[in-house]
Amino acid sequence: MIRTVITGVTGRMGGTLLRLVRESKDLELAGATARQTSRLEQLGVSGGDDLGRVLDTARAQVVIDFTSAEASVAHACQCAERGVAMVIGSTGFTPESRAELAESAKSIPVVLAPNTSVGVNVVIRMAAELARVLGEGYDVEVLEAHHRMKKDAPSGTALKLAEVLASALGRSQDDLTFARHGQIGARPKQEIGVQTLRGGDVVGEHTVYYFGEGERIELTHRATNRDQFGLGALRAARWVTGRSPGLYDMADVLGFQRTS
């Protein structure tokens, strides 16, 4: 059994992960963190509000962390000090906070994935392949929609899609456009648009549009509940436990060959 700690267990993903770990045959719950510690008792889990202290008693092998970018950076330091592997699903990292994570990943294995759903990761791969095959004659745009409570925009998945599309098309971060308003003029050929919708209880939807002359291709993933994010995170937890230190992603977990 893989001894697993869940951070932010009172959150939307924390709750999903708690249920899935409890249902799992090869992962066991070694502890959990919550800022409101009274909720831990209600959920029937042992733990506290400080990951370091939880790890000191839990004998954990892996931490699954879907909290916030800021919290994940702090959690990664605490795991690095104790040699505990991590799966991080939080989004909203800046280049600086990502660099801090990379520092921790010099001493522990970390899977960092803005989307742990296997389906989404297949779509990300297909999106890059489609862009490569279609080439220059298509205007590429990414659209994402999420629930009204989501804090970061665009979603981590949309940013990942934009990154792989830019790489497939030989474009750079400077070609990404995140908002349009007013007299914007004709669309620059190199542009990759990334647009955000927020509302209601939308779990997570991503579409890549390839607008051509006389045709349009749309590649869409729609999550209808959070289980696939959770199941993918458990798969990543099994994969990362016992690995060499390093910063990994879901492409590594799924055994995808590097294309760039």
Ligand X SMILES: O=C(O)C1=N[C@H](C(=O)O)C[C@H](O)C1
Ligand Y SMILES: NC(=O)C1=CN([C@@H]2O[C@H](COP(=O)(O)OP(=O)(O)OC[C@H]3O[C@@H](n4cnc5c(N)ncnc54)[C@H](OP(=O)(O)O)[C@@H]3O)[C@@H](O)[C@H]2O)C=CC1
The yes or no reply on residue 150 touching ligand X (CB under 6 A) is yes
Nearer to ligand X, 134 or 153 (CB): 153
Give the DSSP H/E element, type plus range, for residue 146.
Answer: strand 139-146
Relative orientation angle of helices 51-58 and 69-82, to the nearest 10 degrees: 40
The yes or no reply on residue 4 touching ligand X (CB under 6 A) is no
User: Applying CB under 6 A, which residues contact ligand Y?
Assistant: 8, 10-14, 35-36, 66-68, 70-71, 89-92, 113-117, 152, 156, 229
- Number of continuous H segments (helices) and E segments (strands) in the chain: 9, 12
The yes or no reply on residue 204 touching ligand X (CB under 6 A) is yes
**For residue 162, with 0-12 CB atoms within 10 Å meaning exposed, 13-18 middle and 19 or more buried, which class applies?**
buried
Q: Does 181 participate in catalysis according to the annotation?
A: no
Return phi, psi of residue 181, to 5°. -160, 140
Between residue 99 and residue 138, which ones bind ligand X under the rule CB under 6 A?
114-115
Q: Does 146 participate in catalysis according to the annotation?
A: yes
Residue 140 beta carbon to ligand Y: minimum distance, rounded to whole angstroms: 23
Closest CA relative to residue 165, chosen from 212, 200, 130: 130
Catalytic residue among 146, 160, 206, 221: 146
Nearer to ligand Y, 16 or 138 (CB): 16
Q: How far apart are CA 230 and CA 161, in angstroms?
A: 20
Binding residues for ligand X, rule: CB under 6 A, are 91, 114-115, 146, 150, 155-157, 204
Question: What are the catalytic residues?
Answer: 146, 150
